[in-house]
Every structure is written in structure tokens, then in C-alpha cells.
């Protein structure tokens, strides 16, 4: 049984990070190969299109994995220590830097794709769902309030679309959860607006709360977010973190926020263990499925030699 799940885990890893080009294509089992490591993939439920975020590339595929559109996202002139916009004048240490895709989210109501990368302190853009070549919005001159993802390619980022009630209207927003590096802000979870509203700019964090913020000492906990989803009026985050800087053992948690609680007061965490001694400690991948109103969350939690399946 252990070996069978290890094989399944390998398949998942291959699907999410395909490195080598295909040597042959089976019409009944189409394949797509990126020239660089694939970071994120999302599927449009209505059209079946796939949107693939890779290092330095963004792809749009049909349901049969045929490429429809693409866009080169990097490398570009950047330096993690510099404030965008980055030029050779404003940032003397700037150099050609690869762009790691950090987050892809569908915004079907506006026919837009949210694309966040590691360049320019984790800035995001909006692109057309009809063609990822078409840029709908990008602004690198809004300062720290617009930094969404992480400039550190090793820091994980997850997100989920949601809404925010303002003046009896629902604004479309997305919640972002990310780990922390020395170059990132201290918000583990933030709510980002997708349209200009009053004094708010696109991608600005519109919630100020201490419930899910870290501080300079919390780098030692090394939060590793793996998945975010919604169910029955709640938003969930799946992540691992360390006990402290002296104990490198991981602990896996699932946290929950009421979707209507815009201040995160309802934020709670539940530790997930596969054994009484927390032998299996770090979440690696997950899969979700729906059957009627039942949401099933399948979680792989691993240690160095074994795999536990919840």
C-alpha cells in the first residue's frame, strides 16, 4: 500500500512540474511540455481551457492541451532590494532576473486571469482569459501596498477568489496566503481588491488586522502554504510550519475563516496528524473532489521515508 501511494505521488509531481519535452504524442492522450518548470495550472470550468504558469512563461491551452496563446513573463531587469519600477538608473544592481509564477486565479465575471510572479516584489497583473497575450492591467508604481506575492522563489503562495461587502454591494476580491522571507511584508493572509474603489487601488490590501500577521521573529516558523479553497461559506488554508528556529520538525494545519468575516476574527487552526507522535508531519500535495454537497479533501503528509494519506 505504501509503495502504491508513493507511485501516485510521483505522478502528481510529474504533472505539476514537467521538465523534459515529449518525444512522442499520443492523440488519445495529448501532452503539453513547457520549456521551463511549471509552477501553477488552473482550469476554466466553463471552457475547459488550461492556464499554465511557468518560469518566465505563461501559456493558454485548449482542453486537448493544444497551445492557443502564450506570453513571456521574464527574465526582466530586477533586483529584490529595489522598489519598482526598476531601471538601471533607479537600481544600479539590477540584472536580468527570472520570473517564477506564484499564483494564477480565474476571474470569469470580468473574463480576466490574475497572474502573480516573483519579479518586482511580487506584483500581479490582469490578463484576458481569451488570450493571455492581452494585458488588462499592470502598474508597478503603486508601492508596497501592491506587493501581493513573494520575491523569493522558494516561498509558497496560494489564493482563492472571494467577495467583500461594501455599501450593500459585493466587490470581487481574492485572499492570498503566503510564507515569509526577509524581503516580504508581514501579512501571512491578506485580502486584495480587483478593481479601483474609492481610495483603493487594484491589488491593494484592504484589511488591516493582526489576526494573521507575522512579525520579524516569525521567519523561524517557516510557513509553507499548499492549498486554499472555499466550502459552505468558509475559506480554508492548508499549510505546514515549524515549531521554532531550533526545532525543524514540521507541523501541518488546516485553518478556516468565515467568508463574510472580513476582519478574520473567526480565524481558527486545526493541527493534522497521521499518528500520535506526529511522525508524518509535512503536507506535500492535495486533491479535492465533490460528490453532491460533500467535499472530500485528500491530503498527502510525509516524512523522510513514508507517506500518510488522510
- The residue ranges of every structural domain in the chain are 34-154, 159-309
> Per-residue pLDDT averaged across 160-171, rounded?
88
Give how far Cα 237 sits from Cα of 157, 171, 225, Å: 11, 22, 7
With residues binned 3-state (H G I as helix, E B as strand, rest as coil), the percentages for the chain, rounded to 5, are: 10, 45, 45
Question: How confident is the model over 236-245, as pLDDT tens digits?
Answer: 998 888 766 6
Closest CA to 37 of 178, 153, 129: 153
Which of 194, 201, 186 minimizes the C-alpha distance to 141?
201
CA torsion, ordered 41, 44, 48, 51, to nearest 10 deg:
-30
In this prediction, residue 280 carries a pLDDT of: 56
Answer whether the bond into residue 85 is a cis peptide, omega within 30°: yes
Identify the three-state secondary structure at position 243: strand
CB atoms within 10 A of CB 108: 13
Record the pTM: 0.79
Lowest mean pLDDT among 22-36, 91-105, 107-121, 212-226: 212-226
Pairing of strands 157-166, 57-61: unpaired
Does pLDDT of 10 surpass 50?
no
Contact 253, 269 (CB under 8 A): yes
Q: 241-285: per-residue pLDDT in tens?
A: 876 666 667 778 889 999 999 888 899 988 877 666 655 555 655
Amino acid at each position: 500500500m505504501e509503495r502504491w501511494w508513493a507511485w501516485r505521488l510521483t505522478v502528481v509531481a510529474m504533472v505539476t512540474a514537467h521538465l523534459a519535452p515529449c518525444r512522442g504524442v499520443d492523440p488519445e492522450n495529448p501532452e503539453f511540455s513547457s520549456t521551463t518548470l511549471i509552477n501553477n495550472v488552473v482550469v476554466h470550468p466553463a471552457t475547459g481551457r488550461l492556464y499554465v504558469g511557468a518560469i518566465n512563461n505563461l501559456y493558454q491551452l485548449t482542453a486537448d492541451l493544444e497551445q492557443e496563446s502564450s506570453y513571456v513573463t521574464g527574465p526582466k531587469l530586477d533586483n529584490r532590494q529595489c522598489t519598482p519600477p526598476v531601471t538601471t538608473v533607479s537600481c544600479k544592481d539590477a540584472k536580468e532576473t527570472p520570473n517564477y509564477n506564484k499564483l494564477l486565479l480565474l476571474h470569469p465575471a470580468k473574463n480576466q486571469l490574475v497572474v502573480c510572479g516573483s519579479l518586482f516584489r511580487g506584483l500581479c497583473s490582469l490578463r484576458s482569459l481569451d488570450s493571455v497575450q492581452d494585458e488588462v492591467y499592470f502598474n508597478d508604481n503603486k508601492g508596497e501596498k501592491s506587493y501581493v506575492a513573494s520575491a523569493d522563489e522558494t516561498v509558497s503562495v496560494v489564493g482563492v477568489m472571494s467577495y467583500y461587502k461594501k455599501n450593500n454591494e459585493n466587490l470581487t476580491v481574492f485572499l492570498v496566503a503566503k510564507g515569509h522571507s526577509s524581503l516580504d511584508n508581514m501579512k501571512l493572509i491578506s485580502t486584495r481588491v480587483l478593481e479601483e474603489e474609492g481610495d483603493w487601488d487594484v491589488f491593494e490590501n484592504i484589511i488591516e488586522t493582526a489576526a494573521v500577521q507575522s512579525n520579524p521573529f516569525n521567519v523561524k516558523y517557516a510557513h509553507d502554504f499548499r492549498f486554499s479553497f472555499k466550502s459552505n461559506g468558509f475559506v480554508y488554508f492548508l499549510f505546514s510550519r515549524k515549531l521554532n528556529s531550533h526545532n525543524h520538525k514540521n507541523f501541518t494545519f488546516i485553518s478556516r475563516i468565515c467568508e463574510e468575516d472580513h476582519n478574520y476574527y473567526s480565524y481558527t487552526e486545526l493541527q493534522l496528524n497521521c499518528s500520535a507522535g506526529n511522525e508524518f508531519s509535512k503536507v506535500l500535495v492535495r486533491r479535492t473532489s465533490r460528490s453532491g454537497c460533500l467535499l472530500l479533501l485528500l491530503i498527502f503528509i510525509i516524512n523522510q521515508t513514508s507517506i500518510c494519506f488522510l
